[in-house]
Amino acid sequence: MKNLLPVLMLCILFFSCADEKSNAKTDVRKEAGEKNIALTRELVANMNKQDWKAVAAFYVDSPMMMTSPDGVEFKKSSHNEIIEQHTGLANMIKDLRFDITSIVADSNRVAYEFTATGIINGRKNIMPLSCFATFENGKITRDATYFDE
């Protein structure tokens, strides 16, 4: 019985340390997720300012992007392409505004639902969208945005 006590103490110590490591990993993932949610909110704020150069700066130099209904394949985009795409959208839609309706993150992946609201041909339009973004070192490396026209 005396020999079992040290073994039991070692087991308790081992499992309590393993639990602390698991909690530390969870805390790191949660902190990264919160940071990336804040970056996403900042991105959308710049979209509402129509500061397309600032919007492009949230992305790495050649992010993988997919925007429906254009297709389902990802393609590399440049900052200039991101700026041109958003500028064209703003030129077509008067009073363009984006609002996040739901957002969640797990470490470097952020999923958010948002609406684009604006005036097209004199009529107010609201389009719901969903986006799934992957962050690395504070920049978006992959962006999949889905919507239905």
- Model confidence over 63-84: pLDDT tens digits? 999 987 666 789 999 999 999 9
Q: Would you say the pTM of this structure is higher than 0.85? A: no
- Contact between 141 and 60 under an 8 Å Cβ cutoff? The reply is yes
**DSSP structural state of residue 78:** -
Percentage of the residues of the chain whose pLDDT score is greater than 90 = 70
- Model confidence over 76-110: pLDDT tens digits? 999 999 999 999 989 999 999 999 999 999 999 99
- Contact between 145 and 68 under an 8 Å Cβ cutoff? The reply is yes
Q: What's residue 14's pLDDT?
A: 59
Domains, in order of start, for the chain: 4-147 (3.10.450.50)
Q: Estimate to the nearest angstrom the gap between the alpha carbon of 147 and the chain centroid.
A: 16
Strands 94-106 and 75-76: unpaired
Shortest CA distance to 92 belongs to which of 62, 109, 116?
A: 116
